[in-house]
Chains A and B, each alone.
Chain A
Amino acid sequence: MEYIIISTGFALALLGLWGILSQKNLIKIILGFTIFNTGINIVMVSIGYVRGKAAPILDVIKPSEAADKIVDPLPQALVLTAIVIGLGVTALMLVYALNLHREKNSLDINSFKDLKW
């Protein structure tokens, strides 16, 4: 099971990278970034998975036997941080795209040649 999840994460990350590199539309490039982000998050969560164990919430599980019954809570906490940061980065990129569209009335990456060398 965990092999399926981790390979899905890697596949999504590759797909996102392909989108970033090959797409011409700024919005599609930003979508590529978010797909990349999602893939890496899935990989991180699956690293914390322990075979056959439950989520790290002690409602039915007693605290004394928690160590043998739950998955690792640490990667999940780190992924929560990563999701929030990813949201901030995505919002910033979208706002920059909005501003670029105001300048040139176009979202095509090829129409922005000011920094090209």
Chain B
Amino acid sequence: MIKKILIIGLLAGVGLIFFDLFNAYQGSEVLGKTGRYYAENGADEVGAANLVTAVIVTYRGLDTLGEVTILFLTAAIISFVLKFRREDFIPNRPVRITSELLDSASQVIVPVIFMVGIYIFINGHLTPGGGFQGGAVIASGVLLMIMANPNFGISHKVIAKVESISGIAFVLIGIMGIFLAGGFLDNRLLGLGNLGELFSAGVIPIIYTFIGLKVGAELSNILGTISHAQNEKN
């Protein structure tokens, strides 16, 4: 009883804070100062048609580097927490037979899902999308493969290679920016090209490709580890 009263009191307090914030909120008619700067100079300085990408990869590229690191740490901690003793491991756990529909659908759809994911991260500087979204789409394809065949093993060697190569390449491109262009993660390493073309915006498509591969590998690794953990004897 006292628990319920406490919960209701706390919710009422937080609701009051939210109500105050809502009351103080006014819809804006013009852009704020920072947004105006990005809108006016983004096309000239970065050359990406999608300004959100310009902010994420170039203006706040260091943030994105930290974000990718956090995802990597998550994958590493999950592998560490779900570590199991080798003698408890059943290599081929008995599973319910996958339905015909899921089995054939996964074979047909998975390549298409991978292709859509790659399209999303290559076109991240032109259309809504980018490395993180594309990586998540690729991981959803891996999830479908795991669902169709629960004993499907993801090769940790391949994942580790893809992940470390793309991570190192991301940092190396950033460091090259210090020497050859204006600063860390400056995208003017390559020519900016024409706004709205596939080969434009300097190194943004290259960086986003590496981010997409890295995020896809990390999320697939998490899914694989969780699926793998179920092979343990209870």
Contacts and interface: CB of A to CB of B under 8 A. Distances in A.
Nearest to B32: A72
B55 A73 contact: yes
A14 to B, nearest CB: 6
B22 A56 contact: no
Contacts of B127: 57
A91 B74 contact: yes
Interface residues of B, number: 59
Nearest to B232: A102
Interface centre among A18, A85, A88, A102 (most CB of B within 10 A): A88
A74 B55 contact: yes
A95 B27 contact: no
Nearest to B17: A10
Contacts of B27: 2-3, 49, 51
B55 A18 contact: no
B70 A88 contact: yes
- Interface size class on chain A is 35 or more
Interface in B1-59: 4, 7, 10-11, 14-15, 18-19, 21-22, 25, 27-32, 34-36, 38-40, 42-44, 49-52, 54-56
Given A66-B42, A99-B81, A57 B56 contact: no
A56 B50 CA distance: 6
A110 B175 CA distance: 51
Contact of A98 (B28, B49, B82): B82
A13 interface: yes
B222 interface: yes
B39 A66 contact: yes
Contacts of A94: 226
Contacts of B232: 102
Interface in B220-234: 222, 226, 229, 232, 234
B71 A84 contact: yes
Interface string A80-107: 1101110111011011101100100000
A10 B16 CA distance: 11
A60 to B, nearest CB: 10
A70 interface: yes
B128 interface: yes
Given A13-B18, A14-B14, A21-B11, A50 B40 contact: no
A109 interface: no
A96 B60 CA distance: 32
B18 A10 contact: yes
B84 to A, nearest CB: 9
B206 interface: no
A59 B229 CA distance: 46
B25 A84 contact: no
A101 B175 CA distance: 45
Contact of B22 (A6, A70, A73): A6
